[in-house]
Homo-oligomer: A and B are copies of this chain.
Amino acid sequence: MKIAMLSPLSWRTPPRHYGPWENVVSLLTEQLVAMGVDVTLFATGDSHTRGKLAWICERPYSEDPSIEPKVWECLHIAEVFRRADEFDLIHNQFDFLPLSYSGFTNTPLITTIHGFSSPAILPVYKKYNERTHYVAISEADKSRDLDYIATIHHGIDLAQFPFREDAGDYLLFFGRIHPDKGLHEAIEVARRTDMRLVIAGIVQDEAYFKEQVEPHINGSMVEYVGSVGPEKRQALLGGALALLHLIHFDEPFGLSVVESMACGTPVIAFGRGSMPELIRDGSTGFIVADADAAVQAVGRIDELDRRACRDEVEQRFTCQRMARAYLDVYQKILDQRENHRPWGHYEDLVERHDHKIKEIVVRPGERLSLQKHRRRAEHWILVSGKALVTVGDQEIPLEPGQSVDVPKGAVHRIMNPGDIPLVLLEVQMGDYFGEDDIIRLEDDYDRCS
């Protein structure tokens, strides 16, 4: 199976520190490669993969202001679609823009929706609902206007998040510093429980940071350690008493929630978005309604078993489980391809008002149904392999380069008596070329009725 994996250009894949979409893309890619899948990763030029790397944009635009995102994003996306024929499937983890190129290829497209930045972007997803297969990252993030082929929770690499038996002595905030993430409430909870609070994450809203966070930072009871890369992350997460995740938005997924639990650290969260799907209330954390309840939950944190947190992640949130779930979906999409048949497959090459050309590939030993058409004559040219064709009451063996006419209404059949796939071009001539103008008289696959 050959997969084109399309990552965003905001950060490196995998990211140096922040970059949740790129992080998930990398985890999935590397796990698929480890499972033997042929993956070509389309990402920034400085990305790392054990698969094949393809790139147009050298560096991530969030790290280099000279890179104009609109310019490089369209070049990046156009490149994967230019090469679409090389792949069985394109996995879009970018956002909505690639959808608008999806009409120009027959290669199936699967799109992981990492969240809707605004309801204003829904029209694109709706427009391409029929052309792509959507994967939700949580039940909570599903739009009722779209059809989804699956919900697949993100998975993490357990080796990066070792389990810590003993609870630490500080509360942890881990995420973007933005009102959505509720850091001001985490500061309040820490103050009221007289606990130390460690803050890690990029500043996304400068004004919020300056007004509601910075005044509280004192290096002792409230400490800001900046954005933390993969190496320090595990120590910070594992060493905490609890992660405070008091979000004010419907978070589609919370990677840090799962990473924290993997280290054994339970999570106290507001019950918005995906939180009830990630946290078992009273077992791997507490789902609370407000700051008062969060303060109470901190007091009850030693009721929870840190081992239960780890177990939950081992069972539900590993990158191995995520990769297997995606592989199942890939296979389902490939099996569903419109032009796949029990005997092989075909591809429509051209359709005009008075003729249509198909390329037909028949597997060794297989044969199509004995059939006829009301509204079209056909002309077959064998390109490779061997064919034994029936036209009326004649059986005709064909070698590559040979051709045969099938008059309108004549009973006919194609069979592959050889041991390699047969490739045949079919030129249909008439006034209607639908698949419903096939009258089957006999079929190896019981499709006559």
Contact = CB atoms under 8 A, between A and B. Distances in A.
A113 interface: no
Interface of A: 66-68, 70-72, 74-75, 77-78, 81-82, 96-97, 99-101, 103-105, 118, 120-121, 123-124, 127, 349-350, 352, 354-355, 357, 359, 377, 379, 381, 383-384, 400-401, 403, 405, 425, 427, 429
Given A75-B100, A82-B103, A123-B72, A403 B379 contact: yes
Nearest to A105: B104
B127 A101 contact: no
Instruction: Specify the main secondary structure of chain A where it touches its partner.
Output: mixed
B405 A379 contact: no
Contact of A81 (B104, B383, B405, B427): B104
A401 B379 contact: yes
Contact of A349 (B75, B103, B350, B377): B350
B71 A123 contact: yes
Scoring A99, A118, A401 by chain B CB atoms within 10 A of each residue's CB, the highest score goes to A401
Top-4 shortest CB links A-B: A104-B104, A68-B120, A74-B100, A78-B100
A44 B127 CA distance: 17
Nearest to A124: B71
A71 B354 contact: no
A357 B97 CA distance: 32
A402 to B, nearest CB: 8
A67 B120 CA distance: 7
A425 B101 contact: no
25 contacts: A66-B120, A67-B120, A68-B118, A68-B121, A71-B120, A71-B121, A74-B99, A75-B123, A75-B127, A78-B100, A78-B103, A81-B104, A101-B104, A350-B350, A350-B357, A352-B383, A354-B384, A355-B383, A357-B425, A377-B401, A379-B401, A379-B403, A383-B427, A403-B405, A425-B427
A124 B75 contact: yes
A120 B75 CA distance: 13
A381 B427 contact: yes
Contact of A401 (B99, B104, B405): B405
Nearest to A347: B350
Given A75-B127, A78-B103, A354 B377 contact: no
A423 to B, nearest CB: 8
A427 B381 CA distance: 8
A355 B361 CA distance: 14
A126 B98 CA distance: 21
